[in-house]
C-alpha cells in the first residue's frame, strides 16, 4: 500500500505546485494569456521529460532482484529530490523574480516556471513508469497493462485531492510561500516513510534515509521560519516612504495586503495602501480620506450626468471608498464583490459600513444576469491582475448591464488605456458601443503617463449635458486635475475607435492586443515597486 500512497502524494504535489505557481507568479508577471502559456508549457514539458526519463531508468535497471531494488530506491528517492528543489526555489524566488519580470515579462515567466516547477514535476512524473516497472517485476511476468492503469488512476486521483486541498485548505489560510514549503515537507515525509518501512527491497536504505531526513529537516526548518525569512524584506522603502505589512487577507481570488507607512514624526499621520497581487488598488490617509484620484473622478462623473441619484450599484468593492461616498449623500447603494477578502479588509481598515451599503459576495456577471431591479447609476470598477477579466468586457456582459439600468440611467467605468497601444482600448470602446451607444470619455492630464486612468460614462439613451460638480473634500493635489478633466471630455474620434473589434463570449479577436497592453503595464509596476511588496 505504501507504494501506491507515495504515487498518490506525488500526484497531489503536481497539481498543488501548478496552482501555487500561478499564485506566486501573479504579482510579478500578471495573469495575461502569455503568462499562462508559460506556466502550462513548462508544466507539460516537465511531465513529458519525467515520463520519458522514468521509462529510460526502468529499462536500464532491468528486472533482476538487484535491478528491482535499484528501481525501488529511485522511486522512493524522487519525492525527497523534489522537496529539495522546491525549498531551494522558495529561497531564491522572492529576490530573483522581480529581476526576471523587469528584464522580460514573457521570457521571465518561462524562466520562473522552470525554477518553480521543472525539477519537482520531472521527479514526480518519473515515478509513474518506475512504479509500473516495479509492479511488472514483482508480478512474475504479468501481461496486460502491468498495473499501469492502476498507477495512473491513483496518481490522477492524488492530483484531484492535491488541488482541492491546496485551494480550500492551504491558500485561504497560509501564504503562498508557506503553502509551497508545506508541499515540499509532504514529499520529503513520504520518502522518509519509505526509508523507515520499505515497501520493497531497497538498494541502499541508509542513503535513502539520509537524503529523506535531510529533505525533511530542510523543508521543516524553512516552513517554521517562513514568516521570519520573508519578514527580513521589511520595512520596504517606496516613494521616499517606509512601509510595513499591517495585515494580510487571503482567499481563492488572491491576497490582499494592507500596507502602512511609518507615521510622520510631528503629526502621527500615516497612509494605508490597499494592495492586491502586485497592484495598489487604493491609497487612504489615516483620517479615512482617499488619496486616489479615481475615487473622486467616479463620484464626480456620476453626479455630473445624474445630479439626483436615487439608487446605485457598484461593481467591485476594493477599499469601499466609492460606495461609502455615495451612501453618505443618501443614495441607496448596493455592491457586488467576488472576493470575501476585499469585504473583510474594507470593513476592518477603511471604514466601510455594510449596514449602509449592502454587499453581495458573488461574481458581477452572474449578478447582472439575474438582477431584479434597475439602477440610476452603475459604477464599474472591476479589476483582477492587470486589467478587467475577459468575460467582463464582452458584448454579452454589457447587454446584461444595460438591462439593469434605468432607461435614462448611466454606467460609469474606471478603465486603463495604454496610450502607446490604443488598439486594446479601441476593442473596449467598440464593444461597449454595441449596447450602450452614447459615450463620454474623460482622462486626467498626467504628462508622461503612457498607461493612464480613463473614465467612461455610457448610456442607452442620449447623455444629458454634464452639470458642474464641485467636491469640496478632494485633496489639493487632485483638485485642479479633477476640475480640468471634468471640463474637457474627449471626443470619440476615428483614432480612438480604429481597428476596434467587438468582443463576445464566443469570439475574442482582441485577446493578443489586450495581453500586450497588460504586459506593458505589469512591467512598469514591477520595476517601480520593491521586491517585498510582491511576495505573497
- Dump the DSSP string for 129-197: HHHHHHHHHHTTS--TTTTHHHHHHHHHHHHHHHHHHIIIIITTTS-HHHHHHHHHHHHHHHHHHHHHS
- Please say if 104 is a catalytic residue: no
Q: What is the pLDDT of residue 251?
A: 86
* Parallel/antiparallel/unpaired status of strands 254-261 and 241-251: antiparallel
pLDDT at res. 450? 62
Three-state secondary structure call for residue 516: helix
pLDDT score, position 58: 84
- Cα 1 → chain centroid: 38
The residues with which 254 forms a beta bridge, in sequence order, are 251
In this prediction, the residues of the chain whose per-residue pLDDT falls under 70 are 61-63, 139-146, 385-386, 419, 448-451, 495, 510, 513-514
Task: Give me the residues paired with residue 379 across strands.
Answer: 314, 412
Q: Which of 277, 339, 376, 381 is catalytic?
A: 381
Question: Per the structure block, which three cell numbers stand in for 171?
Answer: 491558500
Could you tell me the CA-to-CA distances from 120 to 220, 441, 460, 513 in Å, in that order? Answer: 17, 50, 54, 34
pLDDT at 30: 80
- Quickly name the fold that domain 293-529 has: Rossmann fold (3.40.50)
Its pTM stands at 0.88
Supply the pLDDT for residue 105. Answer: 84
The C-alpha atoms of residue 67 and residue 294 are separated, in whole angstroms, by 68
* Tens digit of each residue's pLDDT (9 = 90 or more) over 223-275: 999 999 999 999 999 888 999 999 999 888 888 999 999 998 888 899 999 99
Provide the Cα torsion 93, 161, 202, 53; round to 10°.
-60
Of the CA atoms within 13 Å of residue 100, those in its CB half-sphere come to 23
Domain ranges of the chain: 2-231, 239-281, 293-529
CB 149 within 8 A of CB 168: no
| Residue 282: per-residue pLDDT | 92
Cα–Cα dist 356/333, whole Å: 7
Amino acid at each position: 500500500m505504501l507504494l501506491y500512497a507515495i504515487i498518490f502524494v506525488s500526484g497531489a504535489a503536481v497539481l498543488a505546485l501548478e496552482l501555487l505557481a500561478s499564485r506566486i507568479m501573479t504579482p510579478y508577471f500578471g495573469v495575461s494569456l502569455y503568462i499562462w502559456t508559460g506556466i502550462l508549457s513548462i508544466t507539460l514539458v516537465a511531465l513529458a521529460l519525467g515520463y520519458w526519463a522514468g521509462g529510460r531508468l526502468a529499462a536500464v535497471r532491468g528486472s533482476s532482484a538487484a535491478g528491482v531494488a535499484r528501481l525501488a530506491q529511485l522511486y522512493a528517492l524522487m519525492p525527497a529530490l523534489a522537496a529539495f528543489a522546491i525549498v531551494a526555489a522558495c529561497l531564491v524566488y522572492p529576490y530573483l523574480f522581480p529581476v526576471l519580470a523587469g528584464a522580460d515579462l514573457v521570457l521571465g515567466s518561462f524562466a520562473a516556471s522552470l525554477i518553480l516547477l521543472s525539477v519537482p514535476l520531472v521527479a514526480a512524473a518519473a515515478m509513474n513508469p518506475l512504479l509500473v516497472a516495479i509492479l511488472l517485476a514483482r508480478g512474475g511476468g504479468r501481461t496486460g497493462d502491468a498495473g499501469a492503469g492502476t498507477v495512473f488512476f491513483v496518481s490522477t486521483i492524488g492530483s484531484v485531492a492535491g488541488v482541492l486541498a491546496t485551494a480550500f485548505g492551504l491558500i485561504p489560510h497560509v501564504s503562498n510561500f508557506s503553502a509551497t514549503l508545506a508541499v515540499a515537507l509532504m514529499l520529503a515525509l513520504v520518502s522518509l516513510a519509505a526509508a523507515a518501512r520499505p515497501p520493497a527491497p531497497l538498494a541502499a536504505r541508509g542513503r535513502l534515509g539520509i537524503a529523506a531526513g535531510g529533505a525533511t529537516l530542510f523543508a521543516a526548518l524553512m516552513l517554521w521560519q517562513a514568516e521570519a525569512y520573508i519578514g527580513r524584506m521589511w520595512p520596504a522603502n517606496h516613494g521616499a516612504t517606509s512601509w510595513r505589512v499591517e495585515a494580510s487577507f487571503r482567499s481563492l481570488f488572491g491576497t490582499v495586503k494592507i500596507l502602512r507607512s511609518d507615521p510622520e514624526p510631528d503629526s502621527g499621520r500615516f497612509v494605508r495602501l490597499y494592495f492586491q497581487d502586485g497592484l495598489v488598488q487604493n491609497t487612504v490617509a489615516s483620517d479615512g480620506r482617499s488619496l486616489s484620484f479615481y475615487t473622486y473622478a467616479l463620484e464626480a462623473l456620476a453626479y455630473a450626468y445624474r445630479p439626483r441619484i436615487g439608487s446605485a450599484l457598484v461593481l467591485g468593492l476594493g477599499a469601499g471608498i466609492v460606495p461609502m461616498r455615495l451612501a453618505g449623500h443618501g443614495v441607496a447603494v448596493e455592491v457586488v464583490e467576488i472576493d470575501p477578502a476585499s469585504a473583510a479588509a474594507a470593513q476592518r481598515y477603511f471604514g466601510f459600513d455594510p449596514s449602509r451599503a449592502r454587499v453581495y459576495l458573488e461574481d458581477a456577471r452572474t449578478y447582472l444576469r439575474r438582477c431584479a431591479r434597475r439602477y440610476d447609476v452603475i459604477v464599474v470598477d472591476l479589476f483582477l491582475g492587470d486589467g478587467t477579466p475577459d468575460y467582463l468586457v464582452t458584448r454579452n456582459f454589457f447587454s446584461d448591464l444595460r438591462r439593469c439600468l434605468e432607461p435614462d440611467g448611466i454606467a460609469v467605468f474606471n478603465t486603463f488605456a495604454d496610450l502607446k497601444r490604443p488598439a486594446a482600448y479601441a476593442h473596449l470602446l467598440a464593444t461597449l458601443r454595441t449596447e450602450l451607444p452614447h459615450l463620454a470619455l474623460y482622462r486626467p492630464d498626467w504628462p508622461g503617463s503612457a498607461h493612464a486612468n480613463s473614465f467612461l460614462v455610457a448610456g442607452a439613451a442620449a447623455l444629458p449635458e454634464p452639470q458642474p460638480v464641485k467636491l469640496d473634500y478632494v485633496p489639493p493635489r487632485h483638485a485642479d486635475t479633477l476640475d480640468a478633466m471634468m471640463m474637457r471630455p474627449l471626443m470619440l474620434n476615428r483614432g480612438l475607435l480604429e481597428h476596434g473589434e467587438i468582443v463576445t463570449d464566443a469570439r475574442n479577436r482582441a485577446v493578443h492586443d489586450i495581453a500586450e497592453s497588460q504586459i506593458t503595464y505589469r512591467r512598469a509596476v514591477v520595476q517601480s515597486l520593491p521586491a517585498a511588496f510582491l511576495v505573497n
